[in-house]
Amino acid sequence: MKQMYFSVQWARFWHNRKNQAVAIAVLLISLIYCFYSVPGYQPNWPIDPVTTRATRDRRQADLDYARAHPFTPSMASAEYPEMIRNANAELAALKKRDYRAYATAARRQIVMIDQRIDVMGDQQRYFFPMSYYANDNPFALSDGHYGSQEISTRYRADAHYPGPVTAAVIEERTTLQTLQRTIAGGLTLAILLLAVFFANDLVTNDRRHRSVLQDIPLTPWAALNLKTALVWLATMGTVLGFSVILILATAFRYGFGNWGLPTTLYHLPPGKLTYFTTQPLCLYLLEWVGLAALLIWLFIRLTLLLSILFRNEYIALILAGGTIFSQTLYAASGIGAVKNWTTWALPTYFDIGKILNGYQKYLYQADVITLGRAVLLLGGALLGIEIITFIVTHQRHFSLVH
């Protein structure tokens, strides 16, 4: 009977015009993103021999002038020789297409410039890439320091990586690296919203088939579990479809990548030797899949519970959808160091891509925002929702079909 009920619900689910519209919208957005936005991606620290050569030549000219006028105060004589050597090493490596050597030389240059920029200062002799200063970003220096530390750590790992290292690997353009960047960019929140859209009318639509469903010998709890599994499978299937489109858009152009490629994890000083450590890309993706599966189930159950309590699909959609983005009500740079409760707030852990790479630690300035705490809070929230749902559905005379 459960299999028959699931089959009927599955057929009804995909015949629902709202779900068809959502699926088509997701398909179009995926195609636009994968075939238009992804190829247009520009890293903050791109491989750019033209700019590298022009910067080197300008510094060489300044150095020659400083040497010709030794009594004129200048920083060129002390700092530019090493920068010029690093630039020459970068250009030589690019000419040979030796991207390990390029990563080593570029890392030395990035670290040297980063060490000479005072994050708390007003005057600058050197600048981070201009993308950090876009839109009058008030945290440009801090973001630039974060970015330079992140990329220098990854470049060091790339230089020692035993597998093939290409330009696409350096710029994180391969399929697996693009997926990781997309996850860190907020993919999880979009997937949760998709699950809410799929689930919001799954209970209320049963009213249209009241006479049929009332005769099915299933408890409300069992029926609700099957509905949850249906939406979970539909959502995960949509994620798989997005991944296939991403592979088709990137694998032939940039390469699929390797599961062992290094990705970075931020740690908040003090008490750490470095800001960043590295971990295999496969570990990041596996952790994300596990947490995403848990979060999707949580939001499906929440949406169904709201549908039962309010008997209205639109209220369920608004409340569950609003919960996904409720972090925006309090999130701000450094708030975790001022308001400790924000590091325990459940919405802080919804964007799990940023939890896994440590960006939430940087944003909140709180080293306690970890994978372990995310599992604890999300698991506890799911347990609470399950208990409430169990109590509601086991009340005497309760029925999903009113």
What is the predicted pLDDT for the residue at 270? 63
What is the predicted pLDDT for the residue at 218? 79
Closest CA to 154 of 45, 313, 308: 45
pLDDT band at 273 (very low <50, low <70, confident <90, very high): low
Token pair for 270 = 């003090």
What is the predicted pLDDT for the residue at 219? 84
Whole-number percent of the chain with pLDDT over 70: 93
Which of 28-32, 274-278, 296-300 comes out lowest in average pLDDT?
Answer: 274-278
Token pair for 290 = 């596990």
What is the predicted pLDDT for the residue at 6? 85
- Give me the half-sphere count of Cα atoms (radius 13 Å) on the Cβ side of residue 396: 0
Instruction: Give yes or no for residue 214 having a pLDDT over 70.
Output: no
Instruction: Give yes or no for residue 76 having a pLDDT over 80.
Output: no
Instruction: Give yes or no for residue 374 having a pLDDT over 90.
Output: yes
Instruction: Give yes or no for residue 271 having a pLDDT over 90.
Output: no
Which residue has better confidence, 274 or 55? 55
Q: How far apart are CA 113 and CA 57, in angstroms?
A: 17
Q: How far apart are CA 216 and CA 53, in angstroms?
A: 74
Closest CA to 131 of 151, 153, 116, 157: 151
For residue 263, the cross-strand partners are 279
145-179: per-residue pLDDT in tens?
Answer: 999 999 999 999 999 999 999 999 999 999 999 99
**Averaged pLDDT for residues 13-42:** 94
90-126: per-residue pLDDT in tens?
Answer: 999 999 999 999 999 999 999 999 988 876 665 577 8
Long-range CB pairs of 311-320, under 8 A, 24+ apart, other chains included:
311/204, 311/402, 312/204, 313/200, 313/201, 313/203, 313/204, 313/205, 314/200, 316/196, 316/199, 316/200, 317/196, 317/197, 317/200, 320/196, 320/199, 320/200
Instruction: Give yes or no for residue 274 having a pLDDT over 70.
Output: no
pTM: 0.93
Residue type, 244: V
Q: How many CB atoms lie within 10 A of CB 38?
A: 19
Residue type, 42: Q
What is the predicted pLDDT for the residue at 34? 96
Token pair for 19 = 């779900």
What is the predicted pLDDT for the residue at 72? 65
**Averaged pLDDT for residues 292-308:** 96
What is the predicted pLDDT for the residue at 311? 87
Q: What is the 3-state secondary structure (H, E, C) of the chain?
A: CHHHHHHHHHHHHHHCHHHHHHHHHHHHHHHHHHHHHCCCCCCCCCCCHHHHHHHHHHHHHHHHHHHHCCCCCCCHHHHHHHHHHHHHHHHHHHHHCCHHHHHHHHHHHHHHHHHCCCCCCCCCCCCCCHHHHHHHCCCHHHHHHHHHHHHHHHHHHHHCCCCCCCHHHHCCCCHHHHHHHHHHHHHHHHHHHHHHHHHCCCCHHHHHHHHHHCCCCCCHHHHHHHHHHHHHHHHHHHHHHHHHHHHHHHHHHHCCCCCCCEEEEECCCCCCCCCEEEEEHHHHHHHHHHHHHHHHHHHHHHHHHHHHHHCCHHHHHHHHHHHHCHHHHCCCCCHHHHCHHHHCCHHHHCCHHHHHCCHHHHHHCCCCCCHHHHHHHHHHHHHHHHHHHHHHHCCCCCCCCC
- Give me the half-sphere count of Cα atoms (radius 13 Å) on the Cβ side of residue 137: 14
Cis peptide before 129 (omega within 30 of 0): no
Instruction: Give yes or no for residue 1 having a pLDDT over 90.
Output: no
What is the predicted pLDDT for the residue at 135? 86
Closest CA to 177 of 190, 167, 192, 162: 167
**Averaged pLDDT for residues 271-282:** 81
328-355: per-residue pLDDT in tens?
Answer: 999 988 898 889 999 999 999 999 999 9
Token pair for 240 = 């798989």
Q: How far apart are CA 344 and CA 342, in angstroms?
A: 5
Q: How far apart are CA 155 and CA 30, in angstroms?
A: 30
Q: Report strand pairing: 262-266 vs 276-280.
A: antiparallel
